[in-house]
Amino acid sequence: MVDFFHWTSVALGMMILFCLYRGIRGPGFLNRIVAVNVIGTKIVIILALIGFMYNRIDMFVDISVVYALLNFIGTLAAAKFLERKGTV
């Protein structure tokens, strides 16, 4: 089962690279924000998988929840910035 979690984490890491390309070369600012948000979501999943692999799910779930909260707050801050700037 650990091998399955390991290869799933590697596959998610590859998906993060594709999203990183979209975040850097995206056609617009909104596409870049969505790409960064998707990267944050995939990192939360990878953290949960690492918790399963090391049998410390309690600690890694706490870390992933905090990271997801920071990701959400960052997305809200970027949306508020765009709203005040008037570009959206």
Q: What is the domain count for the chain?
A: 1
Alpha helices (H) in the chain, listed in sequence order: 2-25, 29-53, 57-85
pLDDT at 2: 81
Cα 50 to Cα 80: distance, rounded to the nearest angstrom? 33
pLDDT digits (tens, 9 = 90+) for 22-34: 999 988 888 899 9
pLDDT digits (tens, 9 = 90+) for 36-57: 999 999 999 999 999 999 999 9
Per-residue pLDDT band for 88 (boundaries 50, 70, 90) equals low
Answer whether 5's CB lies under 8 Å from 52's CB. Answer: yes
Three-class secondary structure of residue 87 per DSSP: coil
Taking 80 as the threshold, does the pLDDT of residue 87 lie above it?
A: no
Please report, rounded to a whole number, the percentage of residues in the chain having pLDDT higher than 90: 61
Domain residue limits at 14 = 2-85
